[in-house]
Amino acid sequence: AGTAKRFSNTVRRNLMYVAVRLTREDVPVGVVRVALPLAEIDAEIALLRAEIIRGTLLGIVVALAVGVLVARRITVPIADMTRVSEALQRGDYEVRVRTPGPAEIGTLGDNLNRLADQLLERMATLSHQQAQTSAIIRSMQEGVLAIDGDRRLIASNASGRQLLGLPDETEHVVLTRESLAATP
């Protein structure tokens, strides 16, 4: 087989020639020669290039679309979790993650929701315990004063306040040695 590109004086065009030897039982019987104008071959190559370019552009568009969808599937749940964590920091313990996400992100969202539930339970328990402690202190006959490290009065009962000469329901008053020494 052989190929050649040359100008044909017969048809007055550039042609590509392909010649193949024909054999029968390893005996040459002839040669088949075909010629095509190079313009037709170039047109076919141009069509093939255009198809490759279209396919490449379509592949890029599909890849971008898939990338955007995957990114949204990850970023939307993360943004929701960020919103919930900021609300928890502000003390809004009722807020929950509502956007499910891929396995790991969904698990993180579930954990954040469980954390919010636990914080809500603990806050309710602390509030209940604080109410109980306050009720116990108020009901005691003996004077009771609770003072923090900065000498602020944080809890007291009527007898304790009367002992110091403080008005009813006084809290967060800073007690100095002088104010304590001035009490009867």
At residue 157, the 3 state secondary structure works out as coil
Closest CA to 144 of 165, 160, 163: 160
Q: What is the 3-state secondary structure (H, E, C) of 12-52?
A: CEEEEEEEEEEEECCEEEEEEEEEEEHHHHHHHHHHHHHHH
Apex CA 151: angle with CA 124 and CA 159, to 5°? 75
Q: What letters, b where the CB count within 10 A reaches 16 and e where it falls short, cover 84-110?
A: beeebeeeebebebebebeeebeeebe
Measure Cα distances from 112 to 72, 75, 105 in Å: 20, 16, 10
d(CA 115, CA 46): 63
Q: How far apart, in whole angstroms, are the C-alpha atoms of residue 175 and residue 91?
A: 30
Give residue 168's pLDDT.
73
One pLDDT digit (tens) per residue for the chain, 184 residues: 899 999 988 889 999 999 999 999 889 899 999 999 999 989 999 999 999 999 999 999 999 999 999 888 888 888 888 999 999 889 888 889 886 767 788 888 888 889 889 989 998 999 999 899 888 888 888 888 888 888 888 888 888 888 878 777 655 566 666 665 555 5
Task: Determine the pLDDT at residue 153.
Answer: 82
Determine if residue 30 is left, alpha or beta; phi over 0 gives left, psi from -120 to 50 gives alpha, anything else beta.
Answer: left
Whole-model pTM over 0.85: no
